[in-house]
Amino acid sequence: MPLPTRLSRLAVPLFLLFAPVAVGADLRTDIDRMADQFEPRVIEWRRDIHQNPELGNREFRTAGKVAGHLKALGLEVRTGIAHTGVVAVLRGGKPGPVVALRADMDALPMTEEVDLPFASKVRTTWAGKETGVMHACGHDTHVAMLMGAAEILTKVRERLPGTVKFIFQPAEESPPPGEEGGAALMIKQGVMENPRPDVVFGLHIGSMYETGTIAYRPGPVMAAADILHITVQGRQTHGSAPWTGVDPIVVAAQIVMGLQTIVSRQINVTQEPAVVSIGGIEGGNRFNIIPDKVEMIGTIRTFDEAMRDDIHRRVKTTAEHIAEAAGAQATVVIEKPYAVTVNDPDLTERMLPTLKRVAGADNVKLRGKTTGAEDFSFFAQKAPGLFVFLGGSPKGTDLTKVAYNHSPRFYVDESALKLGMRSLVHLTVDYMESPQKR
């Protein structure tokens, strides 16, 4: 597949000529000129990070690269937040609001299958198994785009009516088992204080849209993602005489079927969508032995907190009662690593003209909800947030056949990076320009 490195120039929408005078068309023109100038460097950063991916809480090289760049720009830089996180503060030349911009840095335990000259060859051990490491979710592009945005904003700092906080976050894909990490730990360690952001912006690249496209949605846009653990305790016996024990495998199968009725028969799905899925069952090691116990893992996805709590209660009740009826015991543990990602409706409406100006009105799409999850959600709980989606598939691609995020064949059209960088900068400047609307 070719490696395009430039976006064709976007036509300037007519209403750009009537931009608010407080910021001025000249500043916007300077921003876009610098985006053209820095695009090759952003692509170079992305390729370097892509070729050297690091898992959550282990982003030492990436964090070092980011911190070195931000320090060279003369920003106030803090490192080691939530293990490897980096935060920098840019104080503009005029008083005004605080805008936070966030990028995630971690890769996934996955072996890359894309034929690129900068493909990852990194190997590691994850969950006791040897695996490759790959930026299969585009976090390498997020880091590079925010590094570019930081440079542009630094060069116009005297014209900025406000402060920018750059947040480079580790472990968005969740930290290693037994460790804390990600947005929640950064917040616990004070990343949303001193200075406290008035708003927070983020974006995510994906292959489900063509390059040049930005997708958005006000309100709940990404689901809460919970991790479900169920242990079914039976009583081991010989497979030829199941009546002499309690078979946890049969009980586990009944629980799987019972859980499917929660969404299909017990929840009002006209209110919000929901998902309950079992992703793994493990128990037993011989054909003629009924084991003592079975371990099950799964996920729950919801968009409403009350529905989330209700489903958790129903999962627990269903599993425990099915097991009890068979003489077994079910223990249910539900972890809640990702909250619902909610785009503040007022902020979304306010910034929509910016997105349309930057990408072109026809390229800004209202999207549906996605049952994927993002821990940007925790930042958006602390300040009004807007999280948008950046198209990363080459123009003319059959989007029904592309490899989606988290695939070993996930591919990013690098010409998308300039639009992402421009979007972050223009969202920042346009929000600062009208503080009376906060």
* Cβ count near 333 (within 10 Å): 10
- Identified catalytic residue from 216, 414, 431, 433: 414
- Contact call for residues 244 and 257 (beta carbons, < 8 A): no
Task: Calculate the alpha carbon distances from 139 to 18, 72, 93, 126, 242 in Å.
Answer: 35, 22, 31, 19, 51
Q: Which residues contact 55 (CB under 8 A, 6 or more apart)?
A: 106, 107, 108, 109, 124, 126, 133, 173, 176
| 414 catalytic per annotation | yes
Alpha helices in 73-127 (DSSP H): none
- Identified catalytic residue from 338, 374, 411, 433: 338
Alpha helices in 342-416 (DSSP H): 345-359, 376-382
User: Would you give the end-to-end CA distance of the chain in angstroms?
Assistant: 45
Residue 282: strand pairing partners? 295
Among 231, 192, 189, 215, which Cα is nearest to 372's? Answer: 215
| 404 catalytic per annotation | no
Torsion angle of C-alpha atoms 95, 196, 376, 168, degrees rounded to 10: 70
Task: Calculate the alpha carbon distances from 231 to 225, 228, 302, 310 in Å.
Answer: 20, 10, 23, 21
Residue 284 has phi, psi (to 5 degrees) of 85, 155
Looking up tokens 């964090």 gives 63
- Contact call for residues 144 and 116 (beta carbons, < 8 A): no
Residue 115 has phi, psi (to 5 degrees) of -85, 85
Active centre residues (catalytic): 338, 414
